[in-house]
Amino acid sequence: MQTKPFLTLDDVKKIAAGAEAEARANNWNVVISVVDDGGHLLWLQRMDGAAPISSQIAPAKARTAALGRRESKIYEDMINNGRVSFLSAPGLDGLLEGGVPVVVDGHYVGAVGVSGVKSSEDVQIAKAGIAALGL
């Protein structure tokens, strides 16, 4: 049997705090979500002023990044480049930029999804959260 790392509650809290700090530093009101490697929700945080729909979009982006083991932007780009049939991919509904996988020692252990500002800014917040792990 092989072993692999996994996200602990302490890890998730560090990610969330790092992401929140980045959002606050830029005066961005967003929803921050963290999922495990199976796309199961571990954390959801809706900052004051964030749009209600972002509470559904952020975890969907995170789930897509976790299950696909790549940033959700890749799927958005595929669709925008004409591969619209990918919209029917089962189990993936966050096909928008803003989901970033968390990789530890080559293992995909989860993902962060952010929604509420420009997609590139969502990614900036997600990556700041992941960086808070000090990997």
Check: CB of residue 61 under 8 Å from CB of residue 115.
Answer: yes
CATH fold of the domain at 7-130: Beta-Lactamase (3.30.450)
Helical (H) or strand (E) element with 101 = strand 99-104
Q: Is 6 helix (H, G, I), strand (E, B) or coil?
A: coil
Check: CB of residue 33 under 8 Å from CB of residue 125.
Answer: no
Where along the chain do its domains lie?
A: 7-130
Q: Is 114 helix (H, G, I), strand (E, B) or coil?
A: strand
Check: CB of residue 1 under 8 Å from CB of residue 103.
Answer: no
For 1-49, how does the pLDDT look when each residue is reduced to its tens digit (9 = 90+)?
989 999 999 999 999 999 999 999 999 999 999 999 999 999 999 999 9
Threshold 0.85, pTM exceeds: yes
- Quickly tell me which residue has 């960086």 as its tokens: 131
> What is the pLDDT averaged over residues 89-102?
92
Instruction: Give the tokens for residue 75.
Output: 């799927």
Is it the case that residue 115 has pLDDT exceeding 90?
yes
Is it the case that residue 135 has pLDDT exceeding 90?
no
* Amino acid identity at 50: A
Is it the case that residue 52 has pLDDT exceeding 90?
yes
- Edge-to-edge strands of the sheet including 99-104? 41-46, 31-36, 107-115, 99-104
Is it the case that residue 86 has pLDDT exceeding 90?
no
The predicted pLDDT at position 112 comes to: 98
